[in-house]
Chain A
Amino acid sequence: MSAEPTVNNAVASLAGAAGLPRKNGELVFEAPWEGRVFGLAVSLSEQNYYVWDEFRDQLIAEIGQADAQGDPSTYYERWLASFERLLLQKGLVSQDELDARTAEYESGARE
């Protein structure tokens, strides 16, 4: 694999409603999965499965739509939803396998 990752300014400088939740400048993850889904979306873009702007546009659209509908979802829930949509669009995973795998974690069949 290539060199050690460095902070990508395009990621760090997501702006407006799409801006990463921060306190005094540092990233705030409310739960471990938030850090994980953040890392997954950034990693795939660093490996060129999509360009960052594609993810950013998805995220902005997701946030806009959720706000318009008065959806109380959190920032990283919206991040997850946009990431998932991008994965499906890119054909990196399918809806069926994703649902099946989620059910396995839910039932404890897999952990």
Chain B
Amino acid sequence: MSDQHDHNGESHHHPEPQSYAALRTKAIESLLIEKGLLSSDVVDRVVSTYENDIGPMIGARIVARAWVDPEFKRRLLDDATAAIAEMGHQGNHFVVVENTPSVHNVVCCTLCSCYPWAVLGLPPSWYKSFEYRSRIVLEPRVVLREFGVEVPESVEVRVWDSSAEIRYIVLPERPKGTEHLSEEELARLVSRDAMIGTAVVKAPASVA
């Protein structure tokens, strides 16, 4: 599986030695694929469904809290590591960048795949791809359009390069028409991609 080998000699992320369990898992997957019982694609989709629906929930809760609690939002933007710790989560050095009507933020890791695992779960496979890592810096608007995010020319796009030391998280804009939703309901609207900056949060379809 190529996605396990995204470290092409970079030094700031550390390739881990493969444990027996990791090797055994690879062996099982490769046999199941060879026998036609599964495709990698199916497994990818299952994993990503569970990640999307369950994985990034800490991140989604942080975003929802910031939307309903201006004081928390201020603390989050001032010192994300402390604000996230306040919600019961200790982790690496987080920086939260806020989307506004005039700024759209998007996060990448140009060298490898540094990612705020602790709050967003496993990174999507495209995040680790050379294509995303290189193109998001060179032509962010084009890449965002490919993700279905049309950023008007009047809006500045800022690209943040995560590293082992600093992991960026995007605070997306709260969608219009969600004033009546609870914090819990809001958290459910926030996708992993919205916190990377490759999606925007939309109000639920049932909202008029």
B51 in the interface (beta carbon within 8 A) = yes
- Chain B residues within 8 Å of chain A by Cβ, number: 42
| Pairwise interchain contact A5-B38, C-beta atoms closer than 8 A | no
| Pairwise interchain contact A39-B43, C-beta atoms closer than 8 A | yes
Residue of A nearest to B4 (CB): A32
- Chain A residues within 8 Å of chain B by Cβ, number: 46
Stretch of B55-63, B132-140, B145-153 with 4 or more beta carbons under 8 angstroms from chain A: B55-63
Residue of A nearest to B2 (CB): A111
Partner of A33, one of B5, B26, B32: B26
Interface of A is mostly: helix
B47 in the interface (beta carbon within 8 A) = yes
- Shortest Cβ distance from A30 into chain B, in angstroms? 10
- Residues of chain B touching chain A, judged by Cβ–Cβ distance below 8 Å, are 4-5, 16, 18-32, 35, 37-38, 42-47, 49-51, 53-58, 61, 87-89, 121-122
Beyond the given pairs A44-B37, A80-B25, A84-B28, 20 more chain A to chain B contacts, judged by CB atoms under 8 angstroms and listed by A's residue number, are A5-B45, A25-B57, A26-B56, A26-B121, A32-B122, A33-B22, A35-B47, A37-B28, A38-B47, A43-B46, A46-B46, A47-B37, A47-B42, A49-B37, A84-B24, A93-B31, A97-B31, A105-B18, A105-B23, A105-B26
